[in-house]
């Protein structure tokens, strides 16, 4: 069974997602792990065998989706932060980043 998952990393990904989602829906005394269960199932799958790994494109896709969602959530507040002392604070941060580089 493990050799099948090593040969088909996308099958491994979908099994981890499905099992983690199913475990996350289980409620014990009114609380559940939610989507964090996917993380725990992924950690368990990685500990199962050292050769179980995903292609690099999966990690890159995850990073792109993360940056996209952070941009969506912070985008509307970015321009409103220029009100009052926001412009001064943003210029201060840009200056500090320039000095640090």
pLDDT tens series, the chain, 101 aa: 888 988 888 899 999 999 999 999 999 988 999 989 999 999 999 898 888 888 888 889 989 999 999 888 887 777 776 676 777 888 898 999 999 97
Strand partners, 28: 31
Burial of 60 (0-12, 13-18, 19+ CB in 10 A): exposed
Last residue of a domain, which of 32, 54, 76? Answer: 54
Q: Which of 18, 53, 52, 50 is nearest to 35 (CA)?
A: 18
Domain co-membership, 65 together with 101: yes
Domain co-membership, 46 together with 95: no
DSSP label of 25 = T
> What does the H/E/C string look like for 29-88?
CCECCCCHHHHHHHHHHHHHCCCCCCCHHHHHHHHHHHHHHHHHHHHHHHHHCCCCCHHH
* Main-chain dihedrals φ then ψ at residue 75, nearest 5 degrees: -60, -50
Q: Provide the residue range defining the domain that includes 101.
A: 56-101
Domain co-membership, 5 together with 30: yes
Domain co-membership, 18 together with 44: yes
Structural domains in the chain (count): 2
**Quick one: pLDDT at residue 84?**
67
Domain co-membership, 36 together with 79: no
**Quick one: pLDDT at residue 79?**
72
Domain co-membership, 84 together with 95: yes
**Quick one: pLDDT at residue 94?**
92
Domain co-membership, 47 together with 73: no
Domain co-membership, 31 together with 73: no
């Amino acid at each position: 069974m493990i050799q099948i998952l090593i040969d088909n990393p996308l099958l491994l990904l979908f099994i981890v997602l499905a099992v983690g989602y199913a475990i996350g829906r289980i409620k014990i005394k009114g609380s559940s792990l939610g989507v964090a269960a996917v993380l725990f199932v992924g950690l368990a799958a990685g500990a199962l065998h050292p050769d179980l790994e995903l292609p690099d494109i999966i990690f890159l896709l995850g990073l792109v989706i993360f940056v996209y969602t952070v941009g969506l959530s912070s985008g509307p507040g970015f321009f409103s932060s220029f009100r009052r002392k926001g412009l001064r604070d943003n210029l201060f941060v840009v200056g500090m980043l320039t000095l640090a580089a």
